[in-house]
Amino acid sequence: MKFEGTASYVATDDLQMAVNAAVTLERPLLIKGEPGTGKTLLAEEVARALGMPLIQWHIKSTTRAQQGLYEYDAVSRLRDSQLGNDVDDIGRYIHRGKLWQAFTADQRPVLLIDEIDKADIEFPNDLLLELDRMEFHVYETGETVQARHRPVIIITSNNEKELPDAFLRRCFFHFIRFPDRETMKRIVRVHYPGIQESLVQEALEVFFEVRDIPGLRKRPSTSELIDWLKLLMSDDIPEDILRNRNQGRAIPPLYGALLKNEQDVQLLERLAFMHRRESRSN
């Protein structure tokens, strides 16, 4: 059972190593990297490649660790008791969280804890024991939930907050680097197998050029390149427009897919203007 990327996901050697180590040693894998480099996607692809079910837990700023285990709905139990219903079975008022689901799954699942840095700073600390021993105690019913199979846990973070050391020590860590040109070509080919080589070549050129502009607030990432290529293909933009960008048309067509910030677009336009002026005076 080895993860080597999938038909729709290019995994570099170091990423494969990180995933395989985490799967084999049953340790959570913490993934960081620029936005749009496929952190969240990784869990889906690992689940697909290894034939495991995927359980996703998306973290928000209000998420608490307890919600991942279970929630006890005391309010409905109280209401039911007032309406005269039978409320002896506490278990009926306990809603299972994602971790519980993952622990009791029939088959070893992949559990994605997405954007863990969004939550409160205490959140990772509250999960230490659960992730370590893969078990927790339900106080209301007195039962202990133990993992039948230790799930493959993939945690993503966008670096909005520092994670506590105690938590980090329990994880494996991988930082997804921004792909280089060769990897990028492989990624594009995986997504658009029929795309013309020349179009990819030109588009990548423009793409890395835009990424290199100093001062961009949000540099375009892999997912933006994929979207942009899709637009270019559907619009049937002839590749020579891309190629002739230096002759007075410095703004790439459909740039809206690449730049998501109006300041960045303005910056690009200003650069294009300066470029035009330069080429005219030459």
Partner 1 sequence: MLVNFFQCLKAHGVPVSVREHMDLLAALDANIAFADEEQFYYLARTALVKDEKHFDRFDRALKAFWTGLESVEGLIEALIPEEWLRQEFVKQLSDAEKAKIKSLGGLEELIARFRERLAEQEGRHAGGSKWIGTGGTSPFGHGGYHPGGIRIGGEGRHGRAVKVWEKREYRNLDDSVEIGTRNIKIALRRLRRFAREGAAEELDLDDTIRSTARNAGLLDIRMVPERHNAVKVLIFFDVGGSMNAHVQTCEELFSAVRSEFKHLEYFYFHNFLYESVWRDNRRRYNEGVSTLDVLHRYGRDYKVVFVGDASMSPWEIVYPGGSVEHHNAEPGQAWMARLREAFDKVAWINPVPRAHWDYTESIGLVRRLVDDRMYPLTVKGLEEAMTWLGK
Does residue 171 bind partner 1 (CB under 8 A)?
yes
Looking at residues 70 to 109 of the shown chain, list those that interact with partner 1 (rule: CB under 8 A).
Answer: 75, 78-79, 82
Q: Closest distance between partner 1 and the C-beta of residue 91, in Å?
A: 21
122-147 CB burial, b ≥16 within 10 A, e <16: ebbebbeebbeebebebeeeeeebeb
Select the residue interacting with partner 1 from 56, 87, 118, 175 (CB under 8 A): 175
Looking at residues 106 to 165 of the shown chain, list those that interact with partner 1 (rule: CB under 8 A).
Answer: 121, 161-162, 164-165
Q: How far apart are CA 264 and CA 251, in angstroms?
A: 12
Pick 92 or 243: Cβ nearer partner 1: 92
User: What is the torsional sign of CA 128, 118, 59, 50?
Assistant: negative
Pick 63 or 222: Cβ nearer partner 1: 63
Q: Which region among 25-33, 88-96, 197-205, 220-228 touches partner 1 (by CB under 8 A)?
A: 25-33
Contact 152, 22 (CB under 8 A): yes
Looking at residues 47 to 66 of the shown chain, list those that interact with partner 1 (rule: CB under 8 A).
Answer: 62
Going from the C-alpha of 30 to that of each of 71, 112, 175, the distances in angstroms are: 26, 10, 8
Pick 151 or 252: Cβ nearer partner 1: 151
The 10 Å Cβ neighbour count of residue 170 is 16
**Residue 15, amino acid:** L
Q: Which region among 18-26, 184-192, 200-208, 222-230 touches partner 1 (by CB under 8 A)?
A: 18-26
Does residue 24 bind partner 1 (CB under 8 A)?
yes
Does residue 172 bind partner 1 (CB under 8 A)?
yes
- Give φ, ψ of 123 to 5 degrees: -55, -55
Which residue's structure tokens are 């910030």? 261
Residues engaged in binding partner 1 (CB under 8 A): 13-14, 17-18, 20-22, 24-25, 27, 29-30, 32, 62, 75, 78-79, 82, 121, 161-162, 164-165, 168-169, 171-175
